[in-house]
A and B are shown apart, each in its own frame.
Chain A
């Protein structure tokens, strides 16, 4: 069995560290989405989130970002608003 220090410096510990950094950075990502000056900036922010969240184990977050991005690409404003509300709730849930 691995000793405690070995466990702390292994891949699982390293992943936990970068996962926490990713979560800490979600505040900035949420702000970027909230304050997007136009549809193109909004889609770019959603695209970046959709492309990364799943790699950190946040599949649902990534999927909500993708849904919002696709709704925005199709100019479906009601669906965009709904997806962004769900995304906001998911940000809150992850942060809590």
Chain B
């Protein structure tokens, strides 16, 4: 069975990148690629070949949905679950985000202790499925 190891996180806030590193790398033991923006993610995704992407919604330059649209054009992203990170959790906003083709939503602030388990559930349910 495929082992779930590589997670790419795209997040512009350095404090959130720091807690993501603590949560997913130190506590969860994942191999992590942290990108401060969509352009960096698009440049590095082929070499890293993530098994799951955590994507912030509100970012300068390329937003989360715009980044997702570009990521989905890449072969390496076929069947890779993408989960949005957002501080907005109103029902209509969540539904709109899922319509972009995301597997799920994680609401910020997240619990760094439970996040490694939460993303594993998204990976188990979302991997291999077409966006």
Q: Which residues of A contact B (CB under 8 A)?
A: 11, 14-15, 18, 21-22, 25, 44, 47-48, 50-56, 59, 62, 66
Contact = CB atoms under 8 A, between A and B. Distances in A.
Interface in B20-39: 22, 26-27
A47 B27 CA distance: 26
In the complex, which range does the number of interface residues on chain B fall in? 10 to 19
Closest CB pairs A-B (n = 9):
A54-B109, A51-B87, A51-B108, A55-B109, A55-B19, A18-B18, A52-B15, A22-B15, A52-B16
27 contacts: A11-B22, A14-B22, A15-B22, A15-B112, A21-B18, A22-B15, A22-B19, A25-B14, A25-B15, A44-B58, A47-B87, A47-B88, A48-B87, A50-B108, A51-B108, A52-B13, A52-B15, A52-B16, A52-B108, A52-B109, A53-B109, A54-B108, A54-B109, A55-B16, A55-B108, A55-B110, A56-B19
Interface string B67-85: 0000000000000000000
A52 B20 CA distance: 11
Contacts of A59: 109
Contacts of B118: none
Contacts of A52: 13, 15-16, 19, 108-109
Contacts of B13: 48, 51-52
Given A15-B22, A22-B19, 20 more contacts: A14-B26, A15-B112, A18-B18, A18-B19, A22-B15, A22-B18, A25-B14, A47-B88, A48-B13, A48-B87, A50-B108, A51-B13, A51-B86, A52-B13, A52-B108, A54-B108, A55-B108, A59-B109, A62-B109, A66-B87
